[in-house]
Amino acid sequence: MGVFVFLPLVLPLTALPIARLAELHLHPRVATRLLSGLAGVLALCSTLCLGLLVVVGTAQLPGNPLPDAWSDPEVREAVPYDEIAGKAAIVALAVVAVGCTAAAGRHRRVRRRAHRALAGLPGGELAVLTDAVPYAYALPGSAAARLPDAGTGADARSRSRSRSRSRAGAGAGAGARIRVCFRARALVRGGGHGRGRVVVSTGMLDCLDTRERAALLAHEQAHLIGGHHRYLLAVRLAARANPLLRPLRAAVAYTTERWADEEAARVTGERTVVARAIGKAALVSRGTPTPTLAGFAAPGPVPRRVAALLEPAPTAVNWPSMSTAVGLAVWTAAAGTLGSALSSANATITLFLVLKAATPL
């Protein structure tokens, strides 16, 4: 095992060059899937590495629950600097566990609150809230989140109906805007209520004309159909597991928006209109409730998104040539990921065999 057990902690550096190149040169759909996969594998390997260090390192601590044979000199030679690395790995692994749990918990809480806020509105793919604050985002579907809380009685149902009436009482002007949006929704069929809903405020609708609203709906439906929240959550958890993966988190946040931009441009057939809508929304939008939910004007390099939409649509190349810069970066990142996985597997198997020789498992 030796020093190879430490490689998964630093090998994520090999994936960093691809972040910038992939978001600039690969098709957004390909870039999102590639970067998310890299982040997930590298994060899993580095976490496994920490776990192995904890096992070997804590075997030397007095009062540990592990078998005494695990502190045999042969076992101690399996990992260099076992006591120092093991103690440090305990703290690191605890930080990873707390960080990932907090991120996943916040994502779940925000989704549940958002679904409860829409509980009194009519069903459908679109939810328009009477709110002067401009925002628009894709809310993934969740059957559990739409269920009422246990113990809710007549008072709670009455409050829910009251809130629904207050949101629905938007007046004739808002009603007209809603009807326009529902007519535009025909452009983006295929999402379905099971996938989730597009949430938009009347403040955002006020900022856009009819064609731009159609672009907004197409963009958000693309987020739902593509399951972009899963990619965003995966890279966010990966970045919590290994801080070296944070550039991949930022890159995926950009590529998911570009993916939705291109889908909106394809569905509406108006790249300029989509670019104009994004520019307008970025000037007034407050973003999304959490970074793991995709939004129409999410924080980030909006000028680059607009500039990309003013150019021809990107070519969907699945795997770039090795002779190009982006191809070299992709192969480098793939080699780093493979090396990390092999190092983790080698360390795991070696440690298992050593511990099995030291004491029956």
Q: Please give the Cα distance from 132 to 206 (Å, whole number).
A: 9
Q: For residues 5 and 55, is the Cβ–Cβ distance under 8 A? A: no
**Percent of the chain residues past pLDDT 70, beyond the cut:** 67
Integer-rounded Cα Rg, in Å, for the chain is: 25
- What is the pLDDT, as a whole number, of residue 237? 94
Domain boundaries, the chain: 2-358
- Give the per-residue pLDDT at 280: 87
Q: Kindly report which listed range (85-94, 115-124, 182-191, 244-253) carries the lowest average pLDDT score.
A: 182-191
C-alpha 25/C-alpha 19 separation (Å) is 10
Of 77, 87, 92, give the one whose Cα is nearest residue 2: 77
Mean pLDDT of the chain: 74
Q: Identify the band that residue 132 occupies on the pLDDT scale cut at 50, 70 and 90.
A: confident
Cα separation, 72 vs 94, whole angstroms:
26
**What is the model's pLDDT at position 228?**
92
- Segment among 198-212, 280-294, 298-312, 324-338 with least mean pLDDT: 324-338
Instruction: Write the pLDDT tens digit of every residue in 292-305.
Output: 777 776 656 888 88
- pLDDT at residue number 349: 73
Q: List pLDDT tens digits, range 9-54.
A: 877 877 777 787 777 778 899 889 988 988 898 888 888 888 877 7
Q: Return the pLDDT at 60.
A: 60
Check: CB of residue 293 under 8 Å from CB of residue 138: yes
Q: Residues 119-140: what's their mean pLDDT?
A: 83
Q: Is the pLDDT of residue 247 over 50?
A: yes
Instruction: Give pLDDT, residue 273.
Output: 93
- 71 band by pLDDT with thresholds 50, 70 and 90: low
Lowest mean pLDDT among 110-114, 161-165, 203-207, 311-315: 161-165
Q: Which residues, 6 or more positions from 144, have their beta carbon under 8 angstroms from its beta carbon?
A: 112
Angle subtended by helix axes 28-58 and 228-241, to nearest 10 = 30
Average of pLDDT values for 224-243? 92
Q: What is the pTM of this model?
A: 0.76
C-alpha to C-alpha distance for 173 and 179, rounded to whole angstroms: 10
* DSSP letters spanning 290-338: STTS-BTT-SS-HHHHHHHHTSPPPP--SS--TTSHHHHHHHHHHHHHH
Q: Is the model more confident about 120 or about 79?
A: 120
